[in-house]
Amino acid sequence: MDGGLSNFMKSIRLVEVKIDSLTEISENVFVLSFKRLFDFLPGQVVAITTGQDIPPRLYSICSGTDEPRISILFNMKLEGELTPRLAKINVGDMVMVSAPFGAFLGDNEPAWWIASGTGIAPYRSMVRSGLGRLNTLIHGGKTRDSFYFSDELQQLYPDKYIRCCSQETGEGLYSGRLTQWLKDQKTLPENTNFYLCGSSEMVVEVRDILLEKGVIIEKIMSEIYF
Ligand SMILES: Cc1cc2nc3c(=O)[nH]c(=O)nc-3n(C[C@H](O)[C@H](O)[C@H](O)COP(=O)(O)OP(=O)(O)OC[C@H]3O[C@@H](n4cnc5c(N)ncnc54)[C@H](O)[C@@H]3O)c2cc1C
């Protein structure tokens, strides 16, 4: 973490909350839930840590605004400081969590929602909060099991849910990276916002593809998971 970010993270006020559930939904990918202590806007994040000794990390909320619990989706990084501890947490243990914040917010304007990996989380929150049912959802992942929440998303977006799988093939999957799928599109819709969420590599590459295809920068919203 750079100095500015680390000072910001240290200044965030955290409160203790009890873990209600932890589920491994794919290899090393978990959904963690706790009581909703705060209201939030779909697309926002919370800072979380297991204790004072580890600076908090940010996670997008993946649950809906009216649900009684807040859920996050996280990928356990084997060499990471926090996520291996989060992955071992027991129901009933306490974590420290901030109030929700952030400006990557969904609304009712037409949009394409583009995600890599766990970057699907804020869109799930948006759709579970009643937003974006007519949007197009494009998710990139390496393997067939990278498409978290795909059962529920497939039902909601039968025609407009594109899963781009770069290292495996499978029924209903586009074979290749999501950047290739975007490059393959001859035209992009007008009067549409483009939301990008996930790794910095994906966000930068997709932003460049969109700009090259004539999308104006004001229509591109990004959330980078660094
Ligand atoms: C706005 C925002 C929203 C986010 N939302 C999400 C989300 O919804 N879900 C999600 O999964 N993540 C999200 N992230 C990322 C998250 O905040 C953490 O960065 C991530 O979970 C890693 O935390 P960690 O403590 O386990 O890893 P860290 O300790 O922070 O390590 C980060 C990376 O460095 C590597 N590393 C660390 N130490 C070493 C070492 N000694 N040698 C080699 N490699 C090393 C680790 O493997 C890891 O890949 C978000 C980030 C931002 C900024």
What's the pLDDT score for residue 1? 64
pLDDT averaged over every residue in the chain? 96
What's the pLDDT score for residue 8? 77
86 lines ligand 1 (CB under 6 A): no
1 lines ligand 1 (CB under 6 A): no
Identify the DSSP state of 144: G
Q: Give the integer Cα–Cα distance in Å for 226 and 207.
A: 16
Probe ligand 1: pick from 40, 77, 196, max atoms within 8 Å of CB? Answer: 77
Whether pLDDT at 47 is above 80: yes
Q: Where are the beta strands (DSSP E) in 76-192?
A: 94-97, 111-116, 136-141, 161-165, 173-175
What's the pLDDT score for residue 4? 67
Q: Taking the mean position of all CA atoms in its chain, how far away is CA 103?
A: 14
What percentage of the chain exceeds 90 in pLDDT? 93
Answer yes or no: are the C-beta atoms of 28 and 63 closer than 8 Å.
Answer: no
The protein residue whose alpha carbon is closest to atom 44 in ligand 1 is: 79
Whether pLDDT at 3 is above 90: no
What percentage of the chain exceeds 70 in pLDDT? 98
148 lines ligand 1 (CB under 6 A): no
71: helix, strand or coil: strand
For 169-188, write each residue's pLDDT tens digit.
Answer: 999 999 999 999 999 999 99
Task: Residue 23: count other Cβ atoms within 10 Å of its Cβ.
Answer: 10
For 109-168, write each residue's pLDDT tens digit.
Answer: 999 999 999 999 999 999 999 999 999 999 999 999 999 999 999 999 989 999 999 999
Q: Give the integer Cα–Cα distance in Å for 127 and 152.
A: 10
What's the pLDDT score for residue 11? 80
Q: In sequence order, which ranges of the chain are alpha helices (DSSP H)? A: 3-11, 83-87, 121-128, 150-156, 178-184, 200-212
The pLDDT confidence band at residue 74, using thresholds 50, 70 and 90, is very high
The protein residue whose alpha carbon is closest to atom 27 in ligand 1 is: 80
Catalogue all structural domains in the chain, each as residue range(s) with its CATH number: 3-97 (2.40.30.10), 111-224 (3.40.50.80)
What's the pLDDT score for residue 210? 98
Answer yes or no: are the C-beta atoms of 29 and 75 closer than 8 Å.
Answer: yes
Probe ligand 1: pick from 2, 79, 196, max atoms within 8 Å of CB? Answer: 79
Residue 78 CA: which ligand 1 atom is closest? 47
Angle at 142 between CA 33 and CA 181, to 5 degrees: 110
Averaged pLDDT for residues 216-224: 98
44 lines ligand 1 (CB under 6 A): no
Task: Residue 97: count other Cβ atoms within 10 Å of its Cβ.
Answer: 23
Q: How far is CA 110 from CA 113, 136, 196, in A?
A: 10, 9, 14
Task: Give the pTM.
Answer: 0.95
In the chain, what is the straight-line distance between the N-terminal and C-terminal CA atoms, in Å? 9
